[in-house]
Amino acid sequence: SPGILNHSSKWRYSTKVEYKPIRSVLVANRGEIAVRVFRACTELGIKSVAIYSKEDRAHIHRLKADESYLVGEGLPPVQAYLNIPEIIKICKDHGIDAVHPGYGFLSERSDFAQAVIDEGIRFIGPTPEVVYKMGDKVAARDAAIAAGVPIVPGTDGPITTKEEAKEFCIKHGLPVIFKAAYGGGGRGMRVVRKMEEVEENFQRASSEALSAFGNGAMFIEKFIERPRHIEVQLLGDRAGNVVHLYERDCSVQRRHQKVVEMAPAPHLDPKIRQQMTDLAVKLAKHVGYENAGTVEFLCDEQNNFYFIEVNARLQVEHTVTEEITGIDLVQSQIRIAEGMTLPELGISQDQIKPSGFAIQCRVTTEDPAKNFQPDTGRIEVFRSGEGMGIRLDGASAFAGAIISPYYDSLLVKVIAHSKDLQSACAKLNRALREFRVRGVKTNIPFLLNVLENQKFLNGAVDTYFIDENPQLFK
Ligand code: ADP
């Protein structure tokens, strides 16, 4: 996503980091990802530290940590987790060695990474400079060009007038996609296919962006028809070593947001896989990428692929890569932040051998029958699917848990690992059928429809799949 340019004028980089063992990690996040990081800490013998808003005072992520501290009293629920000075103060007051930002919240804020480092605390992620560059769409595209990575044709920078929009469309042709320059998470996008609709759509998209993100500036890109979303997982260290952990396919999306993710990408031409992974590594080396990150591409039906963005953080779908490679990405992140190199961690490119097929679905507390409206309340009954090849990553999935309206609606990620796409889907399907959730609605009926769709089972879906198959909602 284009990210937030909130400090461009007073920006300065200081990346002087003292590498030494990490004894405690504060997770500046909540829910599922906080618990995921605490688990890695515990396995490494590192103390885990939670922060929680007052709305989350009874949330399980607080109880899963060795220590926990209230943040953002008096602030709205989301703002509580964005309160940088208070999070830094907690770290200083309690002698915390490192901060993990998770995904969402402060994870792509270079000013946060910098504030952490300025206090002599380790930031478990790339340097602030790299977080900044990768969050700035123009800088990220420039880096891709410099590394020889093909990009989607687009405007050179944010534009603000309908005349500029029209000019781009005349020059490059239709269809195009408008993206909020300061948006993200798949929100604020609009596809335009007719020249006479360019100006009006631009005005509307821009005013939507203004009210949603506080800035009406837009990017325009050529719209790639029927793309698959394929992304490459990377790990880099302070010595400049970078490896890829192969790719994920995240084409199953609803409103440009990922719903089902898998690794490896089904039917991907091995030559294309080689090119994509090589270019992703080249880009990472070019910018001095340290820690875990992802390079995202769109791939069209003719096997042309285009860079769209770098996510300079851990992603929701990192699990499927862990399953096929056997590498714990969060533990690797922590070790890299301690200063260990990839060779010291026993990670070298020729030893990363993907095995089998992994697929994840995001079980959310949303009602597919009501246009995925979030549901809230108390979970009265909860039983989960289990058994061979099933992994569950969650935080509030148990009887008695209160699902609040304040945060995103992810309940649990269900991951299946098996020898191939069909058998992994059969496992996931079987596990989802074992779930019993009463008290709040979930999207499980919808996920089961996806997992039973023949086109899906053939591994032949692109980002149009959900939109073109309204029967999946029933
Ligand atoms: P965000 O950062 O908001 O998630 P991305 O740039 O990663 O946005 O795009 C999210 C999704 O939107 C992509 O996976 C793809 O489905 C769609 N998309 C984005 N850009 C294009 C494009 N130029 N052509 C076609 N689809 C696109």
What separation in Å is there between the alpha carbon of 256 and the centre of ligand 1? 6
Q: Find all residues with CB under 8 Å of 275, minimum gap 6, and list them.
A: 305
Q: Which residue has the least CA distance to atom 13 on ligand 1?
A: 256
pLDDT band with cut points at 50, 70 and 90 for residue 3:
very low
Model confidence at 14, pLDDT cuts 50, 70, 90, reads low
Give per-residue pLDDT as tens, 164-221: 999 999 999 999 999 988 877 677 789 999 999 999 999 999 999 998 888 899 999 9
4: pLDDT strictly greater than 50: no
Q: Any residues with CB less than 8 A from the CB of 89 and at least 6 apart, and which?
A: none
Could you give the CA distance from residue 159 to residue 165 in angstroms, rounded to a whole number? 7
Measured CA distances, 405 to 31, 179, 188, 440, 451 (Å): 13, 27, 22, 12, 28
Specify the residue with its C-alpha closest to ligand 1, atom 18.
256
The ipTM (two decimal places) reads 0.96
Closest ligand 1 atom to Cα of 221 = 23
Q: Compute the distance between CA of residue 80 and CA of residue 84 in angstroms, rounded to an integer.
A: 9
Ligand 1 test: best mutation among 256, 306, 316, 463, most atoms within 8 Å of CB? 256
Q: What's the pLDDT at 2?
A: 36
Amino acid at residue number 206: S
Helix (H) or strand (E) holding 331: helix 329-337
- Could you report the per-residue pLDDT of 81-105, keeping only the tens digit for each? 999 999 999 999 999 999 999 999 9
SS3 state at 82? coil
SS3 state at 427: helix
List residues with catalytic annotation.
313
Whole-angstrom distance, CA of residue 224 vs CA of residue 304:
10
CA distance 170 to 195: 8
Task: Please tell me the residue having the least CA distance from ligand 1 atom 9.
Answer: 186
Which pLDDT score is estimated for 13?
Answer: 61
In this structure, the residue with its CA closest to atom 14 of ligand 1 is 229
Number of H helices, E strands in the chain: 16, 22
Residue 83 is given by DSSP the state -
151 secondary structure, DSSP code: B
The DSSP H or E segment spanning 321 is helix 318-325
3-class SS of residue 254: strand
Which of 137, 298, 464 maximizes ligand 1 atoms within 8 Å of its Cβ, making it the mutation to test the pocket? 298
For residue 225, give the ligand 1 atom closest to its CA. 25
Q: Which atom of ligand 1 is nearest to the CA of 229?
A: 14
Nearest residue (CA) to ligand 1, atom 17:
256
Strand ranges across the sheet with 218-222: 189-192, 176-180, 218-222
Task: Give percent above pLDDT 70 in the chain.
Answer: 96
Ligand 1 centroid to residue 297 C-alpha, Å:
9
Q: Report d(CA 59, CA 34) in Å as an integer.
A: 11
Q: Which two tokens stand for residue 117?
A: 């480092």
3-state secondary structure of 326: coil
Rounded Cα distance, 6 and 215, in Å: 12
DSSP 246: E
For the chain, the average pLDDT equals 94
pLDDT tens-digit profile of 320-368?
A: 999 999 999 999 999 999 999 999 999 999 999 999 999 999 999 999 9
Q: How far is the CA of 257 from the centre of ligand 1 (A)?
A: 9
Query: Which residues contact residue 344 at a Cβ distance below 8 angstroms, ignoring those fewer than 6 apart?
Result: none
Residue nearest to atom 12 of ligand 1 (CA): 256
Ligand 1 binding site (Cβ under 6 Å of any ligand atom)? 1, 152, 177, 184-186, 189, 221, 223-224, 227, 229, 253, 256, 296, 298, 308-309, 463
